[in-house]
Structure 1
Amino acid sequence: MLVRLLYASRAVDNSPEAIDAILTQSREHNPGCGITGILCYGGGVFLQAIEGGRSAVNELYGHIQRDVRHKDVELLHYEEISERRFGGWTMGKVNLSKINHSILLKYSEKPELDPYSVSGAVSFALLEELMATASIIGRV
């Protein structure tokens, strides 16, 4: 059974090296577990969708909750899915510094990434638009 999980968290260390280390670890670990997804980072906030088998996704989310590089981890949405949306991605990355702020304003009160203030459905719609506008880098 496939599931998709969407969560938000705040980075403990906002340095580019720390963020890249998280992305690199995801890309190395996830393929062997059948995990695909997308990671959006901006302003110290992560928004991530992960999908795969229920056990693998649940185990990864538990690891993220315990990971000292994340704080304020909050589940935004969890659902069974019939097919992957991010099947071609081991872990895509959105570079918010290169995004037109009107995309962010379309989904929130301010032109910044704040998944804590909107619903999981709105956060997922933002990720969908970022994919459609080719704002995602690192398709591996």
Structure 2
Amino acid sequence: MLVRLLYASRATTPLTCDTVDAILKQSRERNAALGITGLLCYSDDLFMQVLEGGRDEVCELYNTIVSDTRHAEVRILSYEEISERRFGGWTMGHVNIAKVNPGLLLKYAKKPVLNPFNCSGHASMALLNELIATASVLTRSA
């Protein structure tokens, strides 16, 4: 059974390029072995990530993230059983929200900033879908 989990968290330390690169490298290696695909969005001190894969693997990975000292205020925004993957092209794609057109963010939130804590899981997933449609997702660090 496949599931999709969308969560948000706050970074416990400032996000540098090196920090994000290390997270992406670790995620890509681990996720490939577990059959997990997904997308990581980040901005300032916020993470928003979607994970897709087998229920046990996704749940165990989420539990690992909750325990990871790089994350605080980890919140599930959406969890659902799925018949097919939407993010199957990436072991962990990523989007630096600072490089996204602010008008796109404003379409789904009160202000043109990433803040998944202040919008619905549905709106956050719609933003991710639009990021895919506008080719904003990267497969490696840039």
Q: Does 1:9 align with 2:6?
A: no
Q: Is the CA contact (8 Å cut-off) linking 1:4 and 1:52 kept in structure 2?
A: yes
**Residue 138 of structure 1, CA deviation:** 1.2
Query: For residues 138 and 11 of structure 1, what CA distance do their matches in structure 2 show?
Result: 21
**Residue 130 of structure 1, CA deviation:** 0.5
**Residue 69 of structure 1, CA deviation:** 0.6
**Alignment partner, residue 28 of structure 2:** 27
Q: Is the CA contact (8 Å cut-off) linking 1:2 and 1:80 kept in structure 2?
A: yes
For normalisation by structure 2, the TM-score amounts to 0.95
Q: Does 1:56 align with 2:63?
A: no
Query: For residues 10 and 24 of structure 2, what CA distance do their matches in structure 1 show?
Result: 15
**Alignment partner, residue 70 of structure 1:** 71
Alignment of 1:27-106 (within 5 A): 27-106=28-107
Q: Is the CA contact (8 Å cut-off) linking 1:43 and 1:112 kept in structure 2?
A: no
Query: For residues 21 and 12 of structure 2, what CA distance do their matches in structure 1 show?
Result: 13
**Residue 98 of structure 1, CA deviation:** 1.6
Residue 3 of structure 1 aligns with an amino acid whose one-letter code is: V
**Residue 84 of structure 1, CA deviation:** 0.4
Q: How many residues align?
A: 139
Q: Does 1:114 align with 2:122?
A: no
Q: Structure 2: where are the runs of 5+ without partners?
A: none
For normalisation by structure 1, the TM-score amounts to 0.96
Q: Is the CA contact (8 Å cut-off) linking 1:9 and 1:72 kept in structure 2?
A: yes
**Residue 83 of structure 1, CA deviation:** 0.3
